[in-house]
Amino acid sequence: MDRVAFKMKLFPGFEQEYKKRHDEIWPELSALLKETGVSEYSIFLDEETNNLIGVLKVTDKALLDTLPAKALMQKWWAYMGDIMESNADNSPVSTPLKEVFYLP
């Protein structure tokens, strides 16, 4: 099991909307993530910078690379694109984070 962490950016003033949309995450998206081997997925908000820090476990990191081709993933990205920094294809601007410490 691998751990993956990444950083994204939320637009100011959309903190509550971001939380609301994730509180109401589509069941089919949750299922897709689990089918892709994702578990223990959390997103944290740094309220000073509006940076979002995602942390998840995955059975195979290569499976994460299949998500962008999924229509459901593209639909979610389009849904979220108005409240966070996004690329031209609607995927969130995401920066991988390097793990420097882990206490199992």
Residue with tokens 């290569």: 62
Alpha-carbon distance 64 to 5, whole Å?
12
Cα gap 89→80, rounded to integer Å: 12
Note the residue count of the chain. Answer: 104
End-to-end CA distance of the chain: 13
The torsion angles phi and psi of 97, rounded to 5 degrees, stand at -110, 140
Query: Could you give the residue numbers annotated as active site?
Result: 22
